[in-house]
Structure 1
């Protein structure tokens, strides 16, 4: 069992190194496209902003090129804002009430919800609105997933019998399916790990 844990720890460490490399590459590309983050806000060089504006497609031109069925489906797409806001509200309530009781660190929304693409001058108003919507929706789902993942790590840190596609970040440390002998100790370890967790919040 210790050998299996060691192999998993080695793989997880390689994954962390790759994540760091990815973040460095994203930062390098940011420099190449001549923007920087100032207090969390994107700032482009003036000349780059002027270049971006030249690429912007006017709203009317954009709408004329859009297929009618896409326009007709828009209310369904935007209608999802209602369940998304409810998910946001109930996730916040759940965390506020239950996580202090369990001793689980809260998941910070700002670490998952990124709304910054509306600063891109080559997008028209509707494209910016769509980018705000997608940034909120996908960030919220990532936030809710981490809340659910920490809950699972607290109550039931057991792998499934079959493969799980793209499991959450806590899943690799879960107990093997059928490992009855280690369940009690593994459950306590998983809870202790959550209490110490200060990354990816």
Structure 2
């Protein structure tokens, strides 16, 4: 018999599948497709996108001064992001084989596709590239950290967390010593490459 948590997870999976179907329908309505890894819009849509693009000079002229002045702060974070990327990737490459944890594929988390949107000017495309990298990197790192936590300490916290990772519901309950002892090894086995 399924536990309440298992039933909720099944419901969440169904809802995610439904959302993917809805996104697929919207993709069709927006008239684009993937062709050998590239996004291809119908000609009419591409022309509409180009017509909707705000030129770089207009874009900058209409930007607030304080927004422009914060750009070095935002873009300065690329250095620690790249450093973190390198460190976590090295960690995964060294430790995951030892722990027998399946490696996280960065391509499942980091996507660069906004450059195909003709309604974005060059500066907007650069911003999208930066945000796609940073948010994808955080997703990649989060999954590496989640797998590490599942291996070493798959225990829920005593208090509620804002936005726990996807593996968290399977962790053992806080204070359940028996479950920790009996379920840690099976949870580790679930991390092994298939």
Residue equivalent to 2:30: 33
Out of 72, 76, 79, the residue aligned to residue 79 of structure 1 is 76
- The match for 1:89 is 86
Match of 2:118 in 1: 121
Distance 2:97 2:145 in 1: 15
- Deviation track 1:135-155 (CA, whole Å, cap 9, x = no partner) reads 000000000000000000000
Q: CA deviation at 1:7?
A: 1.4
Shift of 1:18: 1.0
Note the C-alpha offset of 1:115: 0.9
Matched, 1:150 2:147: yes
Aligned partner of 2:67 in structure 1 is: 70
* 1:159 and 2:156 aligned: yes
Matched, 1:171 2:168: yes
Query: C-alpha displacement at 1:40, in angstroms?
Result: 2.4
In 1: Cα distance, 2:6 partner to 2:190 partner:
13
Following the alignment from structure 1 to structure 2, what is the Cα–Cα distance between the partners of residues 28 and 173? 32
| Greater mean alpha carbon deviation, residues 38-47 or residues 169-178 | 38-47
1:7 aligns with 2:4: yes
In the alignment, which residue of structure 1 is the partner of 2:40? 43
Q: CA deviation at 1:8?
A: 1.0
Structure 1 runs (4+) greater than 2 angstroms displaced: none
Q: For residue 55 of structure 1, what is the aligned residue in structure 2?
A: 52
Deviation per CA, 1:52-92: give whole Å up to 9, x if none.
Answer: 00000010000000011111110010011001101111111
Q: CA deviation at 1:39?
A: 2.3
Unaligned runs of 5+ in 1: none
Shift of 1:194: 1.6
Distance 2:109 2:36 in 1: 17
| TM-score normalised by L of structure 1 | 0.93
- TM-score between the two structures when normalised by the length of structure 2: 0.97
CA RMSD of aligned residues (A): 1.2
